[in-house]
Structures are given as structure tokens and as C-alpha cells.
Structure 1
Amino acid sequence: MVPANDAEKLILDLVTPIADLEQVAVEDSLGRVLGQTVSSQLDFPHWDNSAMDGYAVRYRDVATVPTQLTVVEEIPAGQVPQRRVQPGEAARIFTGGILPAGADTIVMQENTQRQGEQVTVLTAPMAQEFVRQQGSFYQAGAELLGAGVKIGAAEIAVLAAAQCVPVPVYRRPRVAILSTGNELVEVNQPLGPGQIVDSNRYALAALVAQTGAVPVPLGIVPDQRAATRQAIAEALTQADMVISSGGVSVGDYDYVDQILAELGATIHIRSVAVKPGKPLTVATFGDAEPGGKLQLYFGLPGNPVSSLVSFWRFVQPALRKLSGLNADWFPRFVWATTDSDLRAEGRRETYLWGQLSMGDRGDRFTLASGGHSSGNLVNLSRTNGLARVPLGETLVRSGEKIQVLALGLS
């Protein structure tokens, strides 16, 4: 069995990020990964402007107060000033308005008293107060956003303001998903004796989509060598990564590892020192030489919880790197105080699922109620954290700190 951290490093070292670019509209770029460094030919702000509703003045005129000035112009946002502010003058200005020539300071309206065309400044401002200088946020030509950044709402605002259209993004990885097992049936089929619904397919497709990739569900494969071989070979032609669930343990009908070898794969991992999720196959197809590209295959356990834990712990980081993210690949562990005693056998790194929440004294972890069997997916509902009990430990008492893998973060 490969220790969890060693398996994580080995897997990430095998991943070659996708380099194919697509051009998308700004409004379609949410969740995509920026494929090129973006710069702008615009300064931000584009011009000196006011950060307040008030009056644009010469600082030397208002260094001593009270002082009375003549209002010579009104400048709303979006209007070009028509007058230069001379000694003893002021311009009424609104937030975002262009600073007129001659003025260098803004007096907020709350510190003034207006009567007709005269305004009295009651409180002395600081020099250049409430003036947003051209280029103070960003100077034209500099890097605005780097390649490998995942685009969220804030990045969309930046791209739109910079008039970056269209947006260069990496192609989304395609992930083929297979489920193996004679006992599996479709979600809309009646269940016969010994049969179960292929829930792994739907869960894994959802996790793949949440991570920003394109799931390619290829259905159920019966426990037959020929059918399994054909399904895996077909999946490899349709996707950048292949995930199967089931068929990777040591049973008489677990053919996946044998077939991968027959198809020319290099098998790097057959099991990991993790509970749940010990049976884990990691294989590659393709050229491992410099400049070559490897196609990853993950054979996950068939038990539902084991399958999901394996995805969260090992597949999701690999998929993040494959998608072109610049560095944010790794599982996201946070320290939390457990509200429950956490028990483990100690022979493997153990993950117990539950709810991670922010409390008055930091993050807290509450163990999901019910049995923590690898086949019990019912109490996995609402899980957003996996508490990690390290190898060799058998008990973490309530009130102690524990590392928790934070879920739901793509």
C-alpha cells in the first residue's frame, strides 16, 4: 500500500496540464481557467477622478478654513470638465467625475456649506484627499491577470473593465466515467434481487463538473473481460482522463488491472494506505519522455463512500492540475476542533465524514451520525469535510484539533 501523501505526489507528478486554448465571451468565462496572461492598454483609473460627492478645489485655497469659493462648474460622472479651476474657485463634482484641470483635492460635501454660487469650506482637507489618481490601481501594459487563474466574479469584472474580449481560456478536460459490475442497474430500472442503482456514475459526474471539467458518462460495464476491455479502450479515445468505479479489488471478477496491462498501461498504484478507499488503481497511457503527454486512468473502489473519498483525496487535485490551474491543485486541509470522538484502527490513514463549520472560536468539525461504513452513502449527505485521523492513531478526543479536508472547493 502506498502512503497517502506519497500517492498524492506521484499522481500530481504524472499530470501534464492541458495547453489547448479556446476563446469565450466574458459572460461565458465563469469557472474557466485563464489560458494566457492578460494585460490592458488602459490605466486604472483611466483618469484622475473623485472618490466622493463634493467639490474639486486647489489645496492651497483651502489649507486654512473657513474659506469661501465660487462654484464655476458642475461635473457629474461621465462628463468632461469644461473649465479650469482658478484661485478662489471650486467645481461641484460627483463620485467618479473627472478631476478638472487646476484642481488637486476633493472636499467632501459634508464639510461644506453651499449658498447660491458660493460654497464655504468648513473643514480643511488633506492635500489630494479623495482624488483617485490615473494609473494608481494599474498601469497600462503591466500584467493584469496571469495564465492559470480560475475565473470568478471578481476576475470577470476585471476582464470586462479591461475590455478583454474574447477571453482566452484552457479547454475543459474531458473525463470518461465507467461503472463496472453485474449488480448495477440504471436509475430508472426496477431493482431485482442483489441489484443496486449505479449511484457512483451520478456522483462522480457531478464532482467532475464541479471541478470544472466535462463528464463523459459511458454507462455500466458488466463483469466480463471482453466487455471491460472494449469499454476501457473506447473511453481512452474519448477523454483526457478515465475514471472507473469497481473492479479494482482482488475478487474473481475484478479485471480492471489485468486489462489495463494488456492495453499497454503503466500501473503506478494498486492500493493506498487509506480508509475508506484502499483499492485504488492509478495508471497511465502514453509517452513519459520529456515533451510527451500521459493520459491518466483512475480505477476507484466500487463502494460508494470509498469511491467519493478517493475522488476527493486523489482525483480532484489531479483534475485541477490537468485543467491548467497555475498552483491551486492540492487537497485543502484546514485545522478544526472536533465535536466528537474520532476512532480509527490505526493501520491506515482514516477519513471520517461530517460537517465543517465556522464557530466563535474557529472551525469546528461535527461527525456525521450513523455508521461510517464504506457502503453507507446515506449519511454522506450534507458532508462538506473529511476529518483525517493520521496513520498510527486510534483516537482523537472531542475538543482536540484535527485536520479536515474541506470539500466543495473546486
Structure 2
Amino acid sequence: MLTKRTPISVKEAQRKINEIPLNLMTETIPVAEANHRVLAEVAKAKYDYPHFRRAAMDGYAILADDDHDFPHRFKVVGDVQAGAVYDRDLKPGETVRIMTGACVPDNASKVIRIEKTSDNTDTSVMINESETHSNITEIGADFKQGQTVMAAHQEINPGGLAVLTAFGITEVTVYRKPTVAIIATGTELLTPGEAIAKGKIFNSNGIMLKNLVEETGGSVKMIKQLPDEEKLIKTTLNEAITNYDIVITDGGVSVGDYDYIGDIARDTDQLLFNKVKQRPGSVTTAFIKDHSLVMALSGNPGACYTGFYLYVEPLIRRYSNLPSRIQKVTGILAAPYRKTNEFDRYLRCTFEKKDGKYYVYPNGINRSGSLANLQTTTCLGVIPSSTEPIKVNSEVETWLLPFK
């Protein structure tokens, strides 16, 4: 159905998305499954770390009263490997051979490195000189019991998993990932694996959106590919709205006879926008129904890709109480781009950084329906609306994309 739409700016559209109140939920999961999840509560040390006096070197542990008049022969009364304990005090003139990471006897004051010894036997050793440092990591040197070992609102990485595990922490409370449904519409769409046919195209947006959502931190719970049938689209869309936090559609959002998503948007609880002053993807639409956001992206691959980064990526990150991974910088247009437009164009580009400056290069074909450059695009360069082509070496707002 052809309907006049009133476009708004990209910044206004982003503001509307950013102002959507989110119900941030948490869940408790095993630490083994927490890589790249975001902590919702601080993690505290259950005990001092280390919780025993730990040898920092391979060597021989001695008493403070014996730390003089070297070289000096000591009686070897034990051999302590990592995980073992010498469970009595040393006596004057005694030492134990000790490995890195092993528990140092309570009354030992220093570990002499093995390199500073000679004439070693199972029962005695000649220690030739002392050490400047004790070579003992004392109890609580890294953390004291009750001290914060990992602050909330940060993304856990493999190093963080090691920290948590070192304290015997087996579960953590993290922000729940937003649940996402992806619905592609279009009778022209084929499922990968089907035979190519005249007038048909493969649903390439589906796999792209799924992986963009997952690498951003969302959890894809539904993926549907539907023909242009109004009743089926409405039924499926309502099911997704009922069950998931975010619904992403691609296709069916323009003003043609079969663009049913656009019709549904006009009759919804809260229409945020249905046209944006941008190229590609000016028909990008967003609305709220039953507390779920529907983000209706263009079915054209280039526009779908751009729309995800403009609107969906920051929203998914908010569900984990994190900022967008996109970095906004000022770039320099380093190659010609001669096309003009009434709206700002978010040009798929590559960049290189030299001498602290970002040089931006248009990346091949930039049509809305083109996807040849999606693999190699590393940034979006904003070409302002104008009746004159932008000049080479002009400064342009540049969005550096994550995972590129």
C-alpha cells in the first residue's frame, strides 16, 4: 500500500531507539560457560590469594637466622614439590629443596635459587650466597579475603575465567542475553541448498543477521523465512513479539503492494519511525508492540547490514549494560566518491591508520542491493547530503566496525 512517510534524521532515529526502557534481567550460569558474558554482580575473594606461602623459584628454603656467612653447607631434610607440604618447622642448619609454586615451611624466610647452590646431594647442599628478595609470595599478596576480584558490568574474558576459577567460584550472575527473532520475508527467497531459479535469490540476509546478533551478544531463538502472504506474516510476527525481546525483520518494509511489514507498523502500539534520512535503507522502520521492539530492516543486503550497525548493535549491547563496540572517529576521505544524494549516505568503506589519522576508502560497489563488499568492509564513512560531490581529503564521520 502506497503511503506517504515523513523521514527523520539518523540521530533522531538512534535517540528513539536508545530511549526505549529495557528490563535488564540476570541469570546464574556456570563459570565454564561465562566467556564473553557480562557480570551483573561483583565477584569477591572467598579467601586470601595465595592462601599459603608460595615459592616463587626452584631452590632451597632457609631460616632467617641462617641467612649469613655464605658459602655454607645445609642439611637437606625434605623435598617439596608443588601440591605437597612440609608439615614441620625447619631447625637451624636445615633446608628443604622446594619447587616453584610449592608451599614454603611456616618458619622459612627465604628461598635461595638453585643457581646459587653447588655440590648438591640428596642429604646436603652448599649455598654460596644469599638473595636480595625472599622469593616467597606471601599469603594474600594478590587478594585479601572479601576483596573484589572482578567488578560488575564488565565482559568476562578467558583471563577473567582463570581469576574466578582460582577462587573456587563455579557460578556467576550475568546479564541475560536478549532473545531475538529473525524473520525474512519475500516470495523471491530461496533457502540455501535449493536449486537456483529465474527470479529467485538466496536468503543471504538470514545467516548474516544471525551471526551479527550472536557476535554482538544476543541469543537468536527464532529464524523464519516467509513468502509474501499477509496472514502468515502477521501470525508469525505476533508470535515472535509475544515470545522474544527483539524482532528483526528484513524485507517487506517499503511501500509496495506486498510490503506487509510496513502496513503492520502503521497499525502498531508505538511507531517510532518508518523512514530515515539515510542511504542505504531509508525505509528502515522501528515500532513497539506488547513491550517488544520490532526492527524492520530493508531486504537489500547492503542496507540490511548498515541498518544493523546503526540501530540494532547498540541496542543489543545495552541489554548487557555495555556501550556499542563501534568506534566513531573523524576520517579523511582518501579516494573519490562522486555520487550525490538528498540524504546522508553511510558508505561501506575500508580504512588505514597512518600517523594517528584515519584514511577512508570507498569499498567497491555501494548499491543498496549489493553485497560484494560486505566481507571486506571495515568501516562506514558518512557522506553528507549535497548536490555537489564531496571532495577528496574531506573530513568525514567514520564508524569503525567491530570484528573487522
Does the TM-score normalized on the shorter chain lie above 0.5?
yes
Is residue 125 of structure 2 the alignment partner of residue 118 of structure 1? yes
Partner of 1:332 in structure 2?
327
Mapping 1:263-274, distance limit 5 Å: 264-274=268-278
1:319 CA drift (Å): 1.0
Is residue 209 of structure 2 the alignment partner of residue 204 of structure 1? yes
Residues 1:94 and 1:8: Cα distance change in structure 2 (over 3 Å) = farther
Give the counterpart letter for 1:155 in structure 2: G
**What is the identity percentage for the equivalent residue pairs of Structure 1 and Structure 2?**
28
8 A contact 1:218–1:235 mirrored in 2: no
Match among 145, 153, 173 for residue 140 of structure 1:
145
Match among 379, 384, 388 for residue 381 of structure 2:
388
Residues 1:7 and 1:91: Cα distance change in structure 2 (over 3 Å) = farther
8 A contact 2:186–2:226 mirrored in 1: yes
Partner of 2:81 in structure 1?
76
Partner of 1:51 in structure 2?
56
Is residue 302 of structure 2 the alignment partner of residue 305 of structure 1? yes
8 A contact 1:44–1:134 mirrored in 2: yes
- SS of the residue corresponding to residue 211 of structure 2 reads helix
Partner of 1:7 in structure 2?
13
Residues 1:339 and 1:44: Cα distance change in structure 2 (over 3 Å) = farther
**2:106, 2:364 → 1: CA distance?**
72
**2:393, 2:116 → 1: CA distance?**
56
**2:304, 2:219 → 1: CA distance?**
19
1:272 CA drift (Å): 3.1
Is residue 288 of structure 2 the alignment partner of residue 284 of structure 1? yes
Partner of 1:38 in structure 2?
43
Is residue 372 of structure 2 the alignment partner of residue 378 of structure 1? yes
1:100 CA drift (Å): 1.4
Partner of 1:291 in structure 2?
none
Partner of 2:192 in structure 1?
187
8 A contact 1:336–1:362 mirrored in 2: no
**1:186, 1:235 → 2: CA distance?**
20
**2:305, 2:265 → 1: CA distance?**
22
Give the counterpart letter for 1:321 in structure 2: R
1:178 CA drift (Å): 1.0
1:365 CA drift (Å): 6.3
Residues 1:257 and 1:160: Cα distance change in structure 2 (over 3 Å) = same
- SS of the residue corresponding to residue 282 of structure 1 reads strand
Residues 1:386 and 1:314: Cα distance change in structure 2 (over 3 Å) = same
**1:399, 1:304 → 2: CA distance?**
28
**2:119, 2:131 → 1: CA distance?**
17
**TM-score (structure 2 length as normaliser):** 0.83
Give the counterpart letter for 1:4 in structure 2: V
**1:342, 1:53 → 2: CA distance?**
64
1:164 CA drift (Å): 1.9
Is residue 260 of structure 2 the alignment partner of residue 255 of structure 1? yes
Partner of 1:26 in structure 2?
31
Residues 1:126 and 1:370: Cα distance change in structure 2 (over 3 Å) = same
**TM-score (structure 1 length as normaliser):** 0.82
Worse-superposed segment, 364-373 or 197-206: 364-373
Residues 1:297 and 1:98: Cα distance change in structure 2 (over 3 Å) = same
Give the counterpart letter for 2:132 in structure 1: M
8 A contact 2:40–2:173 mirrored in 1: yes
Match among 123, 137, 149 for residue 154 of structure 2:
149
- SS of the residue corresponding to residue 351 of structure 1 reads strand
1:86 CA drift (Å): 4.4
Partner of 2:401 in structure 1?
406
8 A contact 1:356–1:363 mirrored in 2: no
CA RMSD of aligned residues (A): 3.3
